[in-house]
Amino acid sequence: MPKVYDAEDIVDQKNRMKRRKRQRQFICILLAAIIGVGLYFTRDKWYNKLRGIGEQYRTIVNSGQLAEGNFPIEVSGGADYQLCLSGKRMILLSDTYTYYYDTDGGLLKRRQHTYTNTVLRTSGGRSLLYEQGGNDLSVENEDQVFYTKTFAKNQIFFARLSEEGYTAVVTTSENYSCELVVYDKRGEVIYTRQCIEMVSDLSFIDGSKGCMLSYISAENGQLVTKVQKISFSEKDEQWTSPGLNTFGLSVCGYENGAFVLGMDACGYVDGSGQISSYYSYDGEFVSGASENGNSAVIVNNEDRRKYVMALFSGADAEALIIELEEPSIDVTIYEDLAYVMCQGKIMAYDFSGGLRSVAGVSDSYTGFVRSDDHIFLKGYNKIDRIDYES
């Protein structure tokens, strides 16, 4: 005989089904909220990678066609000229003149200088010219000379210019290994330091409120590079790192530490002054670049016919090795992409190793400079330009 349900049983059963349904819905909503909160707080790790999906495997092929009109820009004196970009200006330094061009090659200003062994640095729309081993420097743009400095008793080892217009100068010293003087954008002294060890390079940090210094010293019969963080508002250094086993060529500070580019190796120092990564080259160092924590190094091993670019996406990242078909010539970083010039072409890679763009160029160029829409090619006695989309 079939079982008979009364009305109350049917109502109870329906209520239980509704409660289970509401419980499942509540659990689903709760899980979605937990996942959403987790994704939000970890967005720095996944957003940039996700944003590139659908585009990262699309390689843009640029024509590599040379611009006409004002190009090529002829340079007298051979390959000893220096070329930099600052904002929308292209600055060319010869042995006697500083030339200011717009990116179309139009000459805006020509200013004569009397320096010997001159070095050009640019940043924030300004140019810094100084005599390496001499006594004079100037900070200027195409419209005016902001200030000049002469060190009567000391000689200039090197000088650096920040995006905010601050200038740091490392000179000889009578009683110390060297002296550091920092000027604000008006040329007023804001910081001085007498250094017991020789400063090999420096990099401004924290909006020009401080800098990273690198020192070369010997430990156990080997040259090492130490990094030191200083603030211009404090007398003592904030920390000094252990020595990296390399002869440091440059130091590039950023928010979470510094990158040391060395002659036979490179590595990162984290925000607490500890060595967080180290990479030893397998071949001859050619060039390197670092910007906002992203770094790239190119190495050629002619004996093994092996040419590589090592990419680093931060202090804790291991080297991502890109094997190149031809010997590398130059490398730079621009807007989170690494641009490498090899014999016959220029390629742009993202820091996940994806090839983003490529352009064929002549083998005769010795380097290049990247701007918003163009690449300027440095030849022996001329400068060419190609349009370049990444």
User: Are 295 and 301 contacting, i.e. CB atoms less than 8 angstroms apart?
Assistant: no
| 3-class SS letters over 207-220 | HHCEEEEEEEEEEC
Residues 270-298 have a mean pLDDT of 96
DSSP string, 215-259: EEEEETTEEEEEEEEEETT-SS-SEEPPPBSS-EEEEEEETTEEE
Query: Does residue 2 surpass a pLDDT of 70?
Result: no
C-alpha torsion 137→163→74→343, nearest 10: 120
Mapping DSSP to helix (H, G, I), strand (E, B) and coil, where does residue 31 land? helix
pLDDT confidence tier of residue 31, bands split at 50, 70 and 90:
confident
Please determine, for residue 23, whether its predicted confidence score (pLDDT) is greater than 90.
no
Phi/psi class of residue 302: alpha, beta or left (left: φ > 0; alpha: ψ in -120 to 50)? alpha
- The amino acid present at 142, given as its one-letter code, is E
pLDDT value of position 259: 97
Q: What is the pLDDT of residues 257-279, one digit of tens each?
A: 999 999 999 999 999 999 999 99
State the angle between helix axes of 43-51 and 7-41 in degrees (0 to 180), rounded to the nearest 10: 80
- C-beta separation of 242 from 270 below 8 A: no
Specify the 3-state DSSP secondary structure of 335.
coil
Torsion sign over Cα 53, 277, 216, 195: positive
pLDDT in the model for residue 55: 46
Mean pLDDT of 307-333: 93
Distance separating the N- and C-terminal Cα atoms of the chain: 79
pLDDT at 14 over 70: no
What pLDDT does residue 1 have? 47
Contact by Cβ (8 Å): 16, 23: no
Mean pLDDT (whole number) for 50-74: 78
- Res. 362: pLDDT tops 90: no
Q: What would you measure as the largest C-alpha separation in the chain, in angstroms?
A: 116
Residue identified by tokens 């397998």 is: 282
pLDDT at residue 87 tops 60 = yes
Backbone angles phi, psi at 250, to 5 degrees: -155, 160
**211, 204 contact by CB (below 8 A):** yes
- Confidence at residue 49, expressed as pLDDT on a 0 to 100 scale: 47
* CA 243/CA 239 separation, integer angstroms: 13
If you average pLDDT over every residue of the chain, what do you get? 89
Smallest CA-to-CA distance from 357 within 52, 63, 62 is with 62
Among residues 259, 254, 280, 282, the alpha carbon closest in space to that of 269 is found at 259
Retrieve residue 104's tokens: 């179309």
pLDDT of 15 reads 62
pLDDT at 32: 74
Mean pLDDT over residues 338-347, rounded?
Answer: 96
pLDDT tops 90 at residue 315: no
pLDDT tens, 175-228?
Answer: 999 999 999 999 999 999 999 999 999 999 999 999 999 999 988 889 999 999
Report yes or no: 312 and 354 within 8 Å, Cβ to Cβ: no
How confident is the model over 94-113, as pLDDT tens digits? Answer: 988 999 999 999 999 999 98
What is the Cα–Cα distance from 178 to 193, expressed in whole angstroms? 9
Burial 321-337 (b: 16+ CB within 10 A, else e): ebebeebbbbbbbbeeb
pLDDT tens readout for residues 34-49: 776 666 666 555 544 4
Q: What is the CA radius of gyration of the chain?
A: 28
> Residue 37's pLDDT is what?
65
How far apart CA 238 and CA 257 sit, in angstroms, is 12
In the structure, what pLDDT confidence band is assigned to residue 256 with cuts at 50, 70 and 90?
Answer: confident
Predicted confidence at residue 137, as pLDDT, reads 96
Q: Which of 12-21, 191-200, 369-378 has the lowest mean pLDDT?
A: 12-21
Q: What backbone phi and psi angles, to 5 degrees, belong to 57?
A: -100, 5
